[in-house]
Structure 1
Amino acid sequence: MTWVITGGAGYIGSHVVRAMRESGRTVVVLDDLSSGHREFVEPGVALVEGSIVDPVVVRKTLGAAAGLGGLDGVIHLAGFKYAGVSVQRPIHTFEQNVTGTAVLLEGMLEAGCKNMVFSSSAACFGTPDVDLVTEATPTNPESPYGQSKLFGEWLLRDLEVSDGLRHTSLRYFNVVGSGYPDLYDTSPHNLFPKVLAAVGAGETPIVFGTDYATPDGSCVRDYVHVQDIALAHVAAAARLETGQPLERVYNLGSGDGVSVLQIMDAVARVTGRPFTPEVRERRPGDPARIVASGELARRDLDWTMRHDLDDMVASAWSAWTASRA
């Protein structure tokens, strides 16, 4: 069984690669290394360096996978993932996330491959006005990034009708932690790496707003461990391989959420470096709470929160400090 994993040299993608290999599958990685890292790809894993926007590269990658015993499907994680930056770079965002997905899908159909697991995002929802987001919650993306992910989902549904594509989209919320000591989040925009970098440098982490209508006044979000996310991809791929039914979309959510101040407390406790975070004014557009139900994914993908908050912090801190050793 061979799968192509786009974006497989990135933080989430590299975890998916290893989880797929541990399940006994062969993988081929396609990554342009714009945010991924060559060292995140294990020795022995085929890595094609290039962009999903390039049809020649896409055909080369799919051909390489087919030559390893047949192409079973594609797990598509590659893309431009910075929601805030996408507001300043909408054309680039749509080129990478919409055009790139279209080029990839065209290559798949040419190769006779009709199984895809798509990395989508909670950004499709925008700022929902419900306490618990479900797959039935209306989508209302508020950034080019969120729009591009929703367009990707729509394209998959259109190809289901026109070409018999079998697919599912996994909507992530806030992915944190590490499943392996040599893999870690390198995003300059995500909360965990920013907080860990501040603590590691002896600086004070920042909390934006403690006057929200939440139990401790700070924003509440869904934080899920990256290894749990990776295992959901394996389960989705397995169902596609065997022809089992799948929903078009699954939320990979915790059902309860964690506040920013709870994260700060956990970081101080787990790292053994106590601090009092600096509190600043709210940032425009930050909703008080976004938490999702993972019930559908639990039913079909064996989705469960196998790691608690301390596990998330401890694994992230261990990988972060190892990367600087």
Structure 2
Amino acid sequence: MRVLVSGGAGYIGPHTVLALLAAGHEAVIVDDLSNSKASVLNRLESLSGQHIPMHSIDLTDRDKTDQIFAETAFDAVIHFAGFKAVGESVEKPLEYYENNLDSTLSIVRAMRRHDVTKLVFSSSATVYGPRAPLPYSEEWWPLEATNPYGWTKVMNEQVLRDVAPTIPGLKVALLRYFNPIGSHPSGQIGEDPNGIPNNLLPFIAQVAVGRREKLMIFGDDYDTPDGTCLRDYIHVEDLALGHLAALEHLDSMKEPVRAFNLGTGQGVSVFEVLRAFEKAVGRALPYEVAPRRAGDLAESYADPTRAEQELGWKATKSIDDMCADAWRWQRENPMGYPAG
């Protein structure tokens, strides 16, 4: 299949591009580079040994999006593109709703016009909200969120559920990620956030490489084994293979839209992640316990049964694997990707 990968120059996108190419598919990247760097493309081409077309456009621009579909015949779309920082979404809700919803609407309009009937959508475990019981199951309803970023995922899922039955043949897999970490084992591609990292792993990595003074741990008095929050961390390479499995499963789906959790099914605490990263680095890392952050849940982890049964996919990499690969990336790229 020839697959348009929106947001393909970001974090999860490049790993998925490599998985697609390794499986014999073609990939075309579309990314406006607002949260990524063009230099990732050279690394992807070096790792894959293949030329990878890339278009730098804003997918909220319907005309430019349609033009890409008009110029290239696609078999499927994997849609990663979107703003993703929870804290920033609270500060800039309008920008998040405009970008994350308009880009999806623009892509689906172009898909409808050019008869592209396969879509894998990047959703999130944030759609389960604070009331869903653990482990999170795809059967839970109603979906809700605690911040504008999460609501854009809930709304996009609803848009796709409403639209899919009206477009003949359209099949959509909604992939609800938990906490992607790690990097490609080559150390050539990895997570390179703009500014201060919003997520635990890149923050720890930047402390380890000397870019940050110390790790801030927000709360050690939760009702968990060591008092810190539990999250379901998944290696980005396992996640990429989940996208490949979903893409290749679309034709077999009996319903137009189906959600799948991509996680390990196990909660790992902040202290456990810190110890695993210290093991990878070979030394203790400085940290400080700070007050809890508003809105943080004590625990969040998946029931990944559906993905295993229907997609034939299962996460295989351990937290030690994730931290070792994340450290290799950060050690070899202390300031992230080069500009340009």
TM-score normalised to structure 1 length: 0.94
Aligned match of 1:182: 188
The alpha-carbon deviation at position 129 of structure 1 amounts to 4.6
| Equivalent residue number for residue 77 of structure 1 | 80
| 1:68-147 aligned within 5 A | 71-138=74-141, 139-147=143-151
Q: State the distance in 1 between where 2:132 and 2:119 align.
A: 31
SS of aligned partner of 1:38: coil
* Contact residue 2 and residue 65 of structure 1 kept, 8 A: no
Secondary structure of the 1:159 match is helix
Q: Deviations over 1:37-57 (max 9, x none)?
A: 212223310000001101122
Equivalent residue for 2:165, pick from 140, 161, 171: 161
Output the CA distance in 1 between the equivalents of 2:223 and 2:132.
Answer: 13
Aligned-partner residue type, residue 112 of structure 1: D
Q: Which position in structure 2 is the counterpart of 1:215?
A: 225
Asked if the contact 1:77–1:118 (Cα under 8 Å) also holds between the matched residues in 2, the reply is yes
Q: Which moved more, 1:251-260 or 1:120-129?
A: 120-129
Contact 1:127–1:287 (Cα < 8 Å) also in 2: yes
Quick one: structure 1 residues 277 and 212, their matched pair in 2 at CA, closer, same or farther if it must change by over 3 Å?
A: same
SS at match of 1:120: strand
What is aligned with 2:48? none
- Unaligned residue ranges in structure 2 (runs of 5+): 46-50, 336-340
* Equivalent residue letter for 2:334: R
The Cα shift of 1:244 comes to: 4.4
Whether the aligned pair in 1 keeps the contact of 2:129 and 2:145 (CA below 8 Å) is yes
Cα-to-partner distance string for 1:282-311 (whole Å, 9 max, x where unaligned): 112211111111100111222212110000
| Residue matched to 1:29 | 29
Q: Does 1:47 align with 2:54?
A: yes
Deviation readout 1:239-297 (Å, 9 max, x if unpaired): 22x44447610111211210001011111111102135311111122111111111001
Q: 1:77 is aligned with what amino acid?
A: F
1:170-204 CA deviation, whole Å, 9 max, x = no partner?
00111000124111111221111111111221733
Q: Is the 8 A contact 2:137 2:302 kept in 1?
A: yes
The sequence identity of aligned pairs, in percent, is: 36
Question: Pairwise mapping of residues 292-307 of structure 1 onto structure 2 (< 5 A)?
Answer: 292-307=302-317
Change (3 A) 1:245 1:317: farther
Tell me which of 232, 236, 240 is aligned to 2:246: 236
Q: Give the counterpart of 2:272 among 255, 262, 269.
A: 262
Q: CA RMSD in A?
A: 1.6
| Structure 1 residue 128, shift from structure 2 partner | 3.4
Asked if structure 2 preserves the Cα contact closer than 8 Å seen for 1:4 and 1:65, the reply is: no
Q: What SS does structure 1 have at the residue aligned with 2:75? A: strand
Q: Which runs of 5+ in 1 are unaligned?
A: none
Q: Quick one: distance in 2 between partners of 1:154 and 1:220?
A: 28
* Structure-2 separation of matches of 1:268 and 1:235: 33
Out of 187, 199, 206, the position equivalent to 2:208 is 199
Correspondence 1:5 to 2:1? no
Take 2:200 and 2:277, find their aligned partners in 1: how far apart are those partners?
A: 12
* Contact 1:116/1:166 (<8 A) preserved: yes
How far the C-alpha of 1:156 sits from its partner, in A, is 1.2
